[in-house]
Amino acid sequence: MLFRTEAHELRGIKMKHMASRFCDSLVELITQTSTNLPPDVRLAMGLAVEEETPGTQASQALKIIAANIDMAREDAAPICQDTGMPTFLVHTPVGVSQIKLRAEIQEAVAEATRMGKLRPNSVDSLTGKNSGNNLGGDTPVIHFEQWEEEDIEVKLILKGGGCENKNIQYSLPAELEHVGVAGRDLAGVKKCLLHAVWQAQGQGCAPGAIGVCIGSDRAHGYFLAKQQLFRTLDDVNPNPALAKLEQEVMEEANRIGVGTMGFGGGVSLIGCKAMAANRLPASFFVSVAYDCWAFRRLGVLLDAGTGAIKKWLYRDPGEVVKRMAKTDGFPLTGREVVLTPPLTEEDVRRLRVGDVAVISGEMYTGRDAVHAYLMKNPPPVDLHGAVLYHCGPVALKQGEKWVITAAGPTTSIREEPYQAEVLKRYGVRAVIGKGGMGPKTLAALGESGAVYLNAIGGAAQVYARAVEEVLDVHLLELGVPEAMWRLRVKDFVAVVTMDSHGGSLHADIEKATGEKLEELVPSVAK
């Protein structure tokens, strides 16, 4: 600053002494955000468990999610292995150095990554190299704003790549699948929001929440939409028209039938938060930030002089947190199909959509980078009869051994360009992921004699506990999430959602929910 008052000078001196305490406070914020859902989200998910029809696949999935939420909090481990791109909203008093605060936030992010509270997710967009510490070009994301209070407010949201990919922006007027023409009014906006929930399907790890910005420009609209996710799920919009819109979208979206993980069901949305911003006459954008059930968002007020946490936002740390689940893990019925890799074609051909499989034995992880590698290079291992898991785990090295601390599935549709060829070339018999895959892969399952199994998105702790041992790791130069991990698992549970006979639960649900969406449209003013 070119001009500093005496108070500003004093604050600058305080900043020198608060640095390490500030970093410690930020590490605690990151840890709690990654491992402990805020009370409003826990309440919404608890209601979802109670409201879903018992005995359905959606109900089973919700029970696993509830157990996973408990496990993550109790073990201080990531709720979901994809800890996203950390996004901070920071309010600072006048005179506090935002340059120094940025450096402290970056140090805290790197430390939380080293501790395994964050997965190393920062990848160079030109070289593909993973930084290994979540730092790099414009990561983490930090938004600063000054305010007239004496304390520093820091809010954090961890939004994974699966739900980030289901963000969507509409330019009105527009003609949308299943809802027709959406005009430049609230009725048109509602059509967009119902379409946004429908298009996310299981790829967004439903039930989810949406933050919405009506208006603004393309870039700022997305920022304002994500900012709406910092509101609590139980608040009421002060604008009556927007409050009415939020309520109606909640009610109608939950009648579409997407359901948990896209398995079908009565709970697809746990929150809708909207705001309106002025726009240009030529533009009418509706920006939607979709978040998954693992809605990780917390905040703190920090003493500007010491860096100590004065107050937690969104939660009371003194409040007793009750367990959500009645049992740990997947509720087994005894009717599950036991699979022991390497699998034969006969093993796979007997499976049908809706079967629940329990896998014990070896499996390999493989995400985007592994699939791209396999299109140009032979695999570092023999994949004939193998189970290939679309997973980017959180892995920590303890001595000479690696330990998997979070291991939920990633969104499989990203591998659609590669999967059929990988099945054909290398003899993979089972693919595990979430959200399903497309017609090219479905055809290849039939031709190659393979099966697609849907694990529960975000259930990183449930699946980490199924990993008995890390046997080896290949292609580690691709980064921890993208490496090929050889795992030994026990009682790893997933649902058959695409089989070798042409069956696809995902295609069926997408079709059925599209038809239901069309039925709902008449209730939206034309």
Q: Give one DSSP letter per residue of 83-151, joined into a string.
A: ----EEEEEEETT--HHHHHHHHHHHHHHHHHTTSS----B-TTT--B-SSS-BTTBSEEEEEEESSSS
What is the percent of the chain where pLDDT is above 70? Answer: 95
Tell me the C-alpha distance between 19 and 442, whole Å: 54
- Would 522 be classed as within a structural domain? no
Determine the pLDDT at residue 333: 72
Cβ atoms of 421 and 255 closer than 8 Å: no
pLDDT for residue 19: 58
Same domain membership, residue 312 and residue 228:
no
Q: Are 507 and 453 in contact (CB under 8 A)?
A: no
Residue 125 counted as domain residue = yes
Q: Is residue 515 part of a domain?
A: no
Q: What is the pLDDT of residue 331?
A: 66
Distances (CA, A) of 145 to 91, 150, 153, 191, 227: 5, 13, 10, 34, 13
What phi and psi values does residue 95 have, to the nearest 5 degrees?
A: 100, -15
pLDDT on residue 265: 95
Do 62 and 176 reside in the same domain of the chain? no
Instruction: Identify the pLDDT of residue 325.
Output: 84
Residue 427 token pair: 């003899």
DSSP 413: G
Rounded-to-integer distance, Cα 170 and Cα 175, Å = 10
Contacts of 66-70 with C-beta under 8 Å, sequence gap 24+, read 66/324, 66/325, 67/324, 67/325, 67/327, 67/328, 67/329, 67/459, 67/462, 68/456, 68/458, 68/459, 68/460, 68/461, 68/462, 69/37, 69/42, 69/45, 69/324, 69/325, 70/323, 70/324, 70/325, 70/328
Q: What's the Cα-to-Cα distance from 480 to each of 37, 69, 148, 366, 475, rounded to whole Å?
A: 25, 24, 43, 11, 9
- Using CA atoms, how far residue 393 sits from 41, 119, 402, 453, 464, in Å, is 24, 8, 11, 18, 9
Same domain, 267 and 365: no
* Domain contains 305: yes
Looking at the fold, whether 241 and 225 belong to one and the same domain comes out as: yes
pLDDT for res 326: 78
Q: What is the pTM of this model?
A: 0.93
Q: Where are the beta strands (DSSP E) in 303-414?
A: 309-313, 337-339, 356-365, 387-389, 394-398, 401-406
CATH number at residue 368: 3.20.130.10
Q: What are phi and psi of 352, to 5 degrees?
A: -130, 155
In a domain, 56, yes or no: yes
Give the CA-trace dihedral at 326, 331, 332, 336, to 10 degrees. 180
> What does the block give as tokens for 325?
């689940």
The tokens 């955000």 sit on which residue? 33
- Residue 513 belongs to some domain of the structure: no
223 and 345 inside one domain: no
Please tell me whether residues 392 and 445 are part of one structural domain: yes
Contact between 459 and 393 under an 8 Å Cβ cutoff? The reply is: no
- Positions of E strands within 216-284: 269-277
3-state DSSP assignment of residue 57: helix
The pLDDT profile of the chain, 526 residues, written as one tens digit per residue, is 222 344 444 444 444 444 569 999 999 999 999 999 999 999 999 999 999 999 899 999 999 999 999 999 999 999 999 999 999 999 999 999 999 999 999 999 999 999 999 999 999 999 999 999 999 999 999 999 999 999 999 999 999 999 999 999 999 999 999 999 999 999 999 999 999 999 999 999 999 999 999 999 999 999 999 999 999 999 999 999 999 999 999 999 999 999 999 999 999 999 999 999 999 999 999 999 999 999 999 999 999 999 999 999 999 988 888 898 877 666 677 788 999 999 999 999 999 999 999 999 999 999 999 999 999 999 999 999 999 999 999 999 999 999 999 999 999 999 999 999 999 999 999 999 999 999 999 999 999 999 999 999 999 999 999 999 999 999 999 999 999 999 999 999 999 999 999 999 999 999 999 999 999 887 554 4
Using CB atoms within 10 A of its CB, is residue 180 exposed (0-12), middle (13-18) or buried (19+)? Answer: middle
* One domain for residues 286 and 301: no
Same domain flag for 277 and 415 = no
Supply the DSSP symbol for 500: T
Q: Are residues 360 and 498 in the same domain?
A: yes
Domain count, the chain: 3
Range of the domain at 269: 161-291
Residue 521 lies in a domain: no
Residue 496, helix vs strand vs coil: strand
Q: Determine, yes or no, domain membership for 459.
A: yes
Quote the pLDDT of residue 10. Answer: 45
Same domain, 428 and 460: yes
pLDDT at position 334 is 74
Same domain as 430, residue 315: no
Q: Is 12 in the same domain as 62?
A: yes
Q: Are residues 130 and 479 in contact, defined by beta-carbon separation less than 8 angstroms?
A: yes
